[in-house]
């Protein structure tokens, strides 16, 4: 994994501090070109990985990168699935099982259709997870996706329910079908590491909030620091700026001072902010 990954919250109206700011961003990035311009600015700073949710609009971004391969020969996507609100809204509208049905393949080959139906009827969780992953991965066809993440709302739901084997089913499917490394986004890293260990998932990629404030680091900042220092996993730090609550230099100093953090994901909307953050990470990573 690269040291710096580019995130996508800013493109889809996600901001943990302000709904007004989130809406202003949603307006600005309604135009695909505005999104591409920012990704291009990040590319010029040497950022080659886009870590993005499987929001419907990411399909348009993928289309652009497929159409301009020559311009981005070394570009990689790290899909994060699913875009949870899509599922949550469908569950409210259709109920749990009907919603699930709607996300399983219902087009194309009769075989795929039957596979979905049979998996559902047999309550075959492993097969259902495989089919759901495949449905989300469709938009990335032909693009490089060396790491595939499951979003924290799913990781942590399975973690809380104690349905830990489902995390392994995800990992196995992603490895076998996409030759990709599975990644797990979570708000509960220490607890998740125990569950992944018990499932025999060795040295997992785990992406979670890591910031000096301890914001959304469940189990506490000390438990995180201890886990990073002592446990075998590949940490990816997100929300390092705690949505802007900490100054960039302080924020990145803290993350870079932690041993073993492989990658830092951040999102930004202006070329200036991208350059500043990227340079800070490069500079403080060398120093650390």
Positions that interact with other proteins (CB under 8 A): 12-19, 22, 26, 85, 88-89, 91-98, 101-102, 104, 106, 113, 116-117, 120-121, 123, 125, 153, 156-157, 159-163, 165-166, 187-188, 191, 213-220, 242-243, 245
105 vs 181, which CB is nearer to other proteins? 105
Cα–Cα distance for residue pair 31/135, rounded to 1 Å: 25
Q: Report in angstroms the alpha-carbon separations of 127 from 8, 167, 179, 256.
A: 29, 13, 18, 40
Q: Are 105 and 79 in contact (CB under 8 A)?
A: no
160 vs 288, which CB is nearer to other proteins? 160
The H-or-E segment that residue 80 falls in is strand 76-81
Q: How far is the CB of 75 from other proteins (least distance, A)?
A: 27
Residue with tokens 């998932």: 201
Q: How far is the CB of 161 from other proteins (least distance, A)?
A: 5
- Taking every pair of Cα atoms in the chain, the longest distance, rounded to a whole number of angstroms, is 57
Cα–Cα distance for residue pair 276/273, rounded to 1 Å: 5
| C-alpha 277 chain-centroid distance | 19
Q: How far is the CB of 146 from other proteins (least distance, A)?
A: 28
180 vs 207, which CB is nearer to other proteins? 207
Q: How far is the CB of 4 from other proteins (least distance, A)?
A: 23
65 vs 267, which CB is nearer to other proteins? 267
Rounded to the nearest 10 degrees, the angle between the axes of helix 248-257 and helix 271-287 is 40
145 vs 155, which CB is nearer to other proteins? 155
Q: How far is the CB of 29 from other proteins (least distance, A)?
A: 13
105 vs 204, which CB is nearer to other proteins? 105
Q: Are 22 and 267 in contact (CB under 8 A)?
A: no
60 vs 106, which CB is nearer to other proteins? 106
Q: How far is the CB of 92 from other proteins (least distance, A)?
A: 5
Q: How far is the CB of 160 from other proteins (least distance, A)?
A: 3
Q: b or e along 180-195 (b: 16 or more beta carbons within 10 Å of the residue's beta carbon)?
A: bbbbbbbbbbbbbbeb
Q: Are 138 and 170 in contact (CB under 8 A)?
A: no
Cα–Cα distance for residue pair 81/55, rounded to 1 Å: 9
């Amino acid at each position: 994994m690269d040291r710096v990954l580019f995130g996508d919250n800013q493109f889809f109206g996600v901001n943990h501090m302000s709904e007004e700011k989130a809406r202003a961003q949603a307006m600005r990035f309604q135009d695909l070109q505005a999104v591409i311009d920012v990704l291009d600015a990040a590319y010029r700073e040497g950022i080659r990985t886009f870590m993005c949710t499987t929001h419907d609009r990411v399909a348009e971004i993928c289309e652009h990168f497929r159409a301009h391969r020559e311009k981005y020969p070394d570009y990689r996507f790290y899909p994060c699935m699913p875009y949870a609100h899509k599922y949550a809204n469908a569950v409210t509208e259709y109920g749990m099982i009907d919603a699930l049905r709607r996300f399983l393949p219902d087009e194309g080959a009769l075989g795929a259709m039957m596979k979905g139906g049979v998996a559902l009827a047999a309550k075959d969780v492993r097969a259902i997870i495989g089919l759901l992953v495949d449905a989300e991965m469709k938009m990335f066809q032909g693009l490089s996706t060396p790491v595939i993440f499951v979003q924290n709302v799913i990781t942590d739901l399975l973690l809380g329910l104690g349905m830990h084997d489902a995390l392994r089913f995800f990992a196995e499917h992603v490895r076998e079908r996409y030759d990709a490394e599975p990644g797990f986004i979570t708000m509960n890293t220490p607890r998740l590491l125990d569950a992944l260990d018990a499932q025999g998932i060795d040295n997992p990629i785990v992406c979670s909030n890591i910031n000096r404030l301890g914001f959304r680091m469940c189990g506490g900042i000390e438990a995180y620091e201890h886990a990073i220092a002592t446990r075998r996993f590949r940490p990816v730090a997100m929300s390092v700026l705690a949505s802007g609550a900490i100054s960039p230099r302080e924020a990145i100093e803290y993350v870079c001072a932690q041993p073993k953090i492989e990658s830092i994901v951040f999102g930004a909307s202006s070329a200036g902010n991208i350059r500043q953050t990227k340079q800070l990470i490069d500079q403080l990573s060398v120093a650390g």
